[in-house]
Structures are given as structure tokens and as C-alpha cells.
Amino acid sequence: MQTSGFTIHYLTTVDSTNNYAARPEIQPKLQHKAVIMTDHQTEGKGQYGNKWESVKGKNLLISIYLKPNLAVKDQFLLNCVAALAIKDTVSYFLSVSSSIKWPNDIFVNHAKIAGILIENSIFGSNINRSIIGIGININQTEFDTGSYNSFKLISNKENDINRVLEYLLFRFSIYYDQIDEPNSNLHKEFDSHLYGKDELRIFKSSEDTGFQAKITGTTVDGKLILSLENGEVRTFNHKEVFFS
Ligand code: BTN
């Protein structure tokens, strides 16, 4: 398998690949660009303290461990790298267009096909270590809750998880290298693929029961930028605004 400079650490089962990579006794064994991969998580984690459920052996479950040379103020770029790499992977294997539902879900046909959970550790004003957890629904076809999609639901066939990983790491390494480029388009490209961009939608926040606005992009630190009908522009952090 081509791993584009990443080292794969495979575990048959683990509580969560993100938790594993964060363990103090494991950390010294991990180098920059280590990938923890498993078939089965007993306590897979999603965003906002949610669980990430995945049928054993059916999906791609990884954590990419990085020691980036990155200022905290630029940490959203890691989000852009992961989301764009997944988006490209979905297009490559399935020939469908996908979009990035802010902050970091990948959607195909209004249903989630992949999620990202990034856990950074910070030292001073830099990112000391980043654990980028990625779950991509590959061969699972039934989901308990919500609106989910998978490679198999779209292609009607079993997909090789290792081939998906190989391509994902290839795209990830290309985008990751762009972080250091002075005029990198990473953020712009992320914005251009936002789910619902420039469409008038209903948003809900803790202060408002509902208001109409359009997504126009994201700020440098990853807040969602909404343009309201009255011309007002508002920005929101994760968890501060919801839309479907
Ligand atoms: C989300 O959309 O809520 C984020 C899902 C992230 C799931 C992946 S699976 C591999 C890694 N280990 C975890 O415990 N979570 C991430």
C-alpha cells in the first residue's frame, strides 16, 4: 500500500483511535504522520460529545497524528486540509459531488458520509500536536439515527477500505503541504465547497428562534459567516448556530 509518507498503526479494536493517539504512554511511540487505524471502536467519539457508531469492519476509522509547525491562530487550516482530502476521495471513488457542511461534515445528497474530530494540544501560541480523527462510512448501509450516506449506498458495491485510505492520505499530504505556502488557497477552496453556500436558509441560534440568511464563507478561525436579509453580517462559532 502507498501511504504518502504516513506510517500506519493498525489495531483490531480500540476504544477510540483519537483517545489511543492521545495516551501519554503511546505518544512517545508515535511520530509525525502516524495513522492509527482500526476496524472497531468501542467508544468512538463524534463532535460535541456525541458517539460515533460504526459497524465492525465496515468503515474507515482513523486518527492522523501530526506534530505541525503551525500557529494556534491558523489551526482551522487543519480542518480545511482534512475536509478537502475527504471530499476529493469521495469524488474519486464515487464520481459524485459532495459538500462540506460547516464545520466539518462531508455530505452527499443531503446525507452525511464522513465526519472529522480534531483534537489539538497547544503549547504557547503553537499547535504542539494534532489528532485528526476521520470516520468515513464505506460499506455500512444501515444507520440508527439521522441522515447518513455511505460508499456502498451510493455505489451499490463493497469498497476496499485500504484503497480509500491510500487515496485519502495521498490527497491529505498534498493539501497539508499547502499550509506552508504563502498564498495558499486552502481556506478559499474550503469555503467554495460549503454546503448551502449562497442559498437563503433558516438558521437557529441560542438568541433567535429562526432567521433567514445566506452562508457566505468562514472566518480565518473557522467561524461561519452569515449574511442576513437586512444586510447585516454575523459570525458564529461551533454550537452557536444550527441549520439543516
Ligand atoms: C463527527 O462527525 O461527529 C466526528 C466523527 C469522527 C469519527 C472518527 S472515527 C475515528 C476517530 N476516532 C474517534 O473516536 N472519532 C474519530
How many whole angstroms separate alpha carbon 14 and alpha carbon 23? 12
- Main-chain dihedrals φ then ψ at residue 104, nearest 5 degrees: -160, 45
Ligand 1 pocket, 52 CB below 6 A?
A: yes
Burial level of 4, CB count in 10 A (0-12/13-18/19+)?
Answer: middle
Q: How sure is the predictor about 120, in pLDDT bands with cuts at 50, 70 and 90?
A: very high
Distance 135 CA to ligand 1 centre (A): 5
Look at residue 209 in the predicted model and tell me its pLDDT: 79
Q: Cα of 29 to ligand 1 centre, how many Å?
A: 22
Sequence letter at residue 50: N
User: Stretch 44-53: mean pLDDT, rounded?
Assistant: 95
Encode pLDDT of 166-218 as tens digits. Answer: 999 999 999 999 999 989 999 999 999 999 999 999 999 888 779 999 999 99
Q: Is 116 in the pocket of ligand 1 (CB under 6 A)?
A: yes
Mutation choice for ligand 1 from 51, 117, 145, 161, CB with most ligand atoms inside 8 A = 117
CA dihedral 185, 66, 53, 41 (to 10 degrees): 160
| This prediction's pTM | 0.97
Sheet order of strands, 241-242 included: 233-236, 224-228, 211-218, 200-205, 241-242
Q: What is the mean pLDDT of the chain?
A: 96
- With a 6 Å cutoff on the Cβ, whether 105 touches ligand 1 is yes
CA distances from 115 to 48, 49, 97, 220, 229 (A): 12, 13, 16, 21, 31
44 lines ligand 1 (CB under 6 A): yes
Task: Give yes or no for residue 115 CB within 6 A of ligand 1.
Answer: yes
pLDDT class for 29, splitting at 50, 70, 90?
very high
133 lines ligand 1 (CB under 6 A): yes
Cβ–ligand 1 distance for 61 under 6 Å, the answer yes
Whether residue 140 has pLDDT greater than 80: yes
Q: How far apart (Å, rounded) are the C-alpha atoms in residues 55 and 39?
A: 9
